[in-house]
């Protein structure tokens, strides 16, 4: 039977990347997506912006909403200091199965906890289940209609503190108009837009960085 695109992406990683070398995993996925098959990873151009935000922040506690194949998980986890932890939520079991193997190939499984399920179900359980007080950094890259409700849910669950940084992918393409309107007009956030392009294309897209003010 026919393989899936995530399965073919994993095969490309296992063929071209070196075990334990996160940069080679990132490069193998970017090459596959540019030259073989487009896939909805944050990509290299927006990925460099993601890298700079993470490097500047040096977060201890990171939440990623939307793992897909683990590309941005690897990008973030490779930059984390020893002892720092990344929890990544993925609703789609097939994506999660591939992402676990991509994260393992990069040798980053000790820094990453991949949780399968709905963000709306897991966000209220972060404190009691994972012993998390608050997050330092949240990367939003899941279903675009969940960005706003999940952000409000994180606020209500006390998971954001003064200075927590939210970084949202795809604010232009596919777009998250309700989320953008909220973070740009709320007195609880200081927001700025990083103009870029949709992964592996010339279409406009960008990342919105929003600092929670408490
Ligand atoms: O749905 C997305 N993510 C959540 C599911 O895992 C997503 C979609 C797209 C995209 C798709 C189709 C198109 F035509 C344009 C953009 C891009 C992304 O970066 C994304 O994160
Ligand atoms: Mg995305």
Mind listing the pLDDT tens digit for each residue in 8-52? 999 999 999 999 999 999 999 999 999 999 999 999 999 999 999
Q: What is the ipTM of this complex?
A: 0.99
In 91-141, where do the E strands start and end?
Answer: 112-116, 135-140
Burial 171-192, CB ≥16 within 10 A → b, else e? bbeeebeebbebbeeeeebebe
Distance separating alpha carbons of residues 92 and 32, to the nearest angstrom? 22
Mean pLDDT of the region 186-207: 98
Please state the pTM of the whole predicted model. Answer: 0.99
Mind listing the pLDDT tens digit for each residue in 79-127? 999 999 999 999 999 999 999 999 999 999 999 999 999 999 999 999 9
111 CB less than 6 Å from ligand 1? no
Distance separating alpha carbons of residues 166 and 135, to the nearest angstrom? 10
CA of 139 to the centre of ligand 2 (A): 10
> Is 178 known to be catalytic?
no
> Is 181 known to be catalytic?
no
Residue 173, CB half-sphere, CA atoms under 13 Å: how many? 15
CA of 100 to the centre of ligand 2 (A): 18
Mind listing the pLDDT tens digit for each residue in 158-176? 999 999 999 999 999 999 9
88 alpha carbon, closest ligand: 1
> Is 144 known to be catalytic?
yes
């Amino acid at each position: 039977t026919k393989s899936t695109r995530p399965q073919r992406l994993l095969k490309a990683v296992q063929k071209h990347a070196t075990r334990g070398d996160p940069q080679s995993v990132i490069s193998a996925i970017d090459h596959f997506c540019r030259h073989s098959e487009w896939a909805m990873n944050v990509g290299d151009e927006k990925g460099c912006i993601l890298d700079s935000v993470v490097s500047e922040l040096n977060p201890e506690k990171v939440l990623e909403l939307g793992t897909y194949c683990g590309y941005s998980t690897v990008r973030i986890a490779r930059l984390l200091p020893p002892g720092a932890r990344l929890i990544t939520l993925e609703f789609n079991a097939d994506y999660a199965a591939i992402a676990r193997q991509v994260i393992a190939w990069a040798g980053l499984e000790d820094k990453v906890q991949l949780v399968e399920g709905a963000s709306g179900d897991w966000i209220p359980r972060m404190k009691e289940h994972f012993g998390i007080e608050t997050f330092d950094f949240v990367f939003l890259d899941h279903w675009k209609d969940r960005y706003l409700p999940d952000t409000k849910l994180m606020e209500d669950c006390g998971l954001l503190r003064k200075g927590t940084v939210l970084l949202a992918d795809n604010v232009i393409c596919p777009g998250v108009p309700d989320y953008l309107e909220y973070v740009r007009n709320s007195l609880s956030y200081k927001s700025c837009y990083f103009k870029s392009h949709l992964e592996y294309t010339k279409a406009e897209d960008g990342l919105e960085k929003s600092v929670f003010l408490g």
